[in-house]
Structure 1
Amino acid sequence: MEFVTCGSWRGSLGNGLAERELSCLLAVAAGHTDKEIALRDGLSPRSIKGRIESAMFKLGVYKRPALVAEAMRRGLISPMILVLCAILVGHSVAGADEITRVRRPGERKLVELRIHRRAESAWTMA
């Protein structure tokens, strides 16, 4: 299966959307405007709008946030963070060395201090 990436998003081809429609959908999911996508692809913003509207029609939605949500629900697109999580889970299942977090000295104390200050400010406001 082939994939298209845009920023931190990844989409799979062959599930109903053309490559250019999927590319525009990924850019919308990444938060880009029609003008930004048009500059990237060397097209007019109207062409980009047409591609996005075509993807909306194919998925049966009428708003851009609904388009991204429906594409995620159908498995057409996914954030790359999910791929990273899958790699880390596979790494831990395979029995490799543990991944540990190295804390800077005093980091935990700073967090506790912030919690206490917030609690104190909540009591003074009441």
Structure 2
Amino acid sequence: MITYKEKLSLIGDMIELSKVDGKLHEREYEFIKMVADDLKVRDADFDELFKIPNELLVFKSEFKRIEHFYRLALLSHCDNHHHDREHEFLYQLGLKLGLNPFSIKRVLHEMEKSPTRMVEADLLFGIFKEQHN
């Protein structure tokens, strides 16, 4: 189970990513709000996250770290504009999360190739699993 503090950190990372290109697009905001609502983050806390710097929490579970990375990668594509700074932010965040750099690059590449900008779960986790061997 994810704690409320972890939920706030997840949303905070999403907010940081959405601002990397200098503009918070409406579709990005809507996506973040949808995730926050799904995670049952209180509206007042959600609004406050836009005003304070985010504290990165690294999950112990690799599954959770991959899931978080992928959620952010999806956000970077929701405005139909992928900025180079977003790509760099995702790469650096993936490293901070302790994910394999080759896997990070491959997932981002697979998302770029996909017409929907999505990657099937089996492929996503398979990419990270490959690097364990």
* TM-score using structure 1 length: 0.29
* TM-score using structure 2 length: 0.28
* More helix per residue: 2
Determine which structure has more spread, i.e. the larger CA radius of gyration: 1
